Structure 1
Amino acid sequence: MGKRTDTRERTLRTAATLFRTQGYHGTGLNQVLAEGGLPKGSLYFHFPGGKEQLAAEAVALGAGELCDWVSAILDAAPDPGAGLDAVIQGLAEHLTASDFNLGCPIGTVAPDGGDLVRDACVSAFGAWQDVVREYLAGQGVSDPDEVATTLLAALEGAQLLARTRRDTAPLYAVGKTMRTLLKGR
């Protein structure tokens, strides 16, 4: 039983990385198997729903890790501006360390999958927004849901621009503008 769990985990992590770098349509199941060193029959054994199920679970895995990471950063921040700065710095470092190959674990898959993938992305973005909203509410920020939505949209767009341009400047520009927004709240 342990070996099956290891194979399932390796399949999921390999797929998550490939989806983050290549998107949904750019990632093939044979590539997932080859890059993960996985037996051919393992994919449908562990993911009977095929690519859709694999992508949806990969999004959930990546989103969970992202939410935990953001939550830890915000919990350690003395104020919302410092929290935002730390998240942006971390995103910039992550993009740079991956040579701009690893995009958002949600955003790179969101526009391309079917209903199962879309539902996983909706849930994942919702979880990320919840983490930010709860933090902002705890910090006394007015309209925390509206501000969390704005921050999430701005950060997601900044990541896409940064990855496309291979330059972290969009992240820092968004940070500067969003810091002004937070000061007014």
Structure 2
Amino acid sequence: MASNSRERILRSAAKLFSTQGYHATGLNQVISEGGAPKGSLYFHFPGGKEELAAQAIALSGSELDTEFAQVLHDAPTPGEGIARVLGLLGTRLAESGFTKGCPVATTALDAASTSEPIRQACNDAFFDWQHTLTEHLTAHGRPDADTLSTVVLAAVEGALLLARTRRDLAPLTAVAAHLRTTLDG
């Protein structure tokens, strides 16, 4: 039962931090949405909101990295793989009413400059995603895979931010088309 409360709190926090950011998310809201007893938050996360945020980012980052790896694994070309990743992100964004973009970026922009544990969790998630992209590009014979994965990740994050802000998938579509042409052309 205790781990169930922990899991509910963590998943609730991950959702709220990714859509609202760190500072706009209150612990009472996390507990309420997670359906957990109030005392369980500090029992499971004695470091409070900062510890909870870092662990929520780690969870969200890891789950998305697994999805990226699955999508990329079946792609016949490097550009098609990246386009499929952008398609996955676009579907999530649209289905959420443009509230569910990158599960890390909202909190990174909000709190990474003032919290070392949160900054490190964000950095680790971005590093894992870049590593997954590097593996994909390397598997398709790109000698510049490490550098190129940085460019791809920056383009994806930028496209997500623009799409979320504009409430329009056009930036994701444009970046997917450009990267497909660039990587496969």
Task: Give TM-score scaled by structure 1 length.
Answer: 0.95
Which consecutive segments of 4 or more residues in structure 1 shift more than 4 A? none
SS at match of 1:110: helix
The match for 1:164 is: 165
Number of the residue aligned with 2:62: 64
Offset, 1:112: 2.3
Distance of 1:60 and 1:152 partners within structure 2 = 18
What is the one-letter code of the residue matched to 2:84?
A
- Determine the C-alpha separation between the residues in 2 that align with 1:112 and 1:82: 32
2:39 to 37, 41, 47: 41
Amino acid at match of 1:132: L
How many Å separate the matches in 2 of 1:103 and 1:90?
A: 11
Note the 1:170-185 alignment, pairs <5 A.
170-183=171-184
RMSD of Structure 2 on Structure 1 (CA)? 1.0
Using the TM superposition, give the Cα deviation of residue 142 of structure 1 relative to its aligned residue in structure 2, in angstroms: 2.4
For 1:95, the equivalent position in structure 2 comes to 93
Residue 111 of structure 1 contacts residue 118 of structure 1 at CA under 8 Å; is this kept in 2? no
Give the 3-state SS of the residue equivalent to 1:24 in structure 2. coil
Is the aligned partner of 1:130 residue 2:128?
no
Please list the CA deviations of residues 124-152 of structure 1 after superposition, one character each: whole Å capped at 9, or x if unmatched: 10000000001111110121011100000
Gaps of 5+ in 2: none
- Is the Cα–Cα contact under 8 Å of residues 13 and 52 in structure 2 kept in the other structure? yes
Measure the CA separation in 1 of the matches of 2:50 and 2:168.
Answer: 31
Quote the offset at 1:7 in angstroms: 0.3
> d(CA) in 1 for partners of 2:69 and 2:182?
20
How many residue pairs match? The answer is: 182
By how many angstroms is 1:101 displaced? Answer: 1.1
Report the 3-state secondary structure (helix = DSSP H, G, I; strand = E; otherwise coil) of the residue aligned with 2:91. Answer: helix
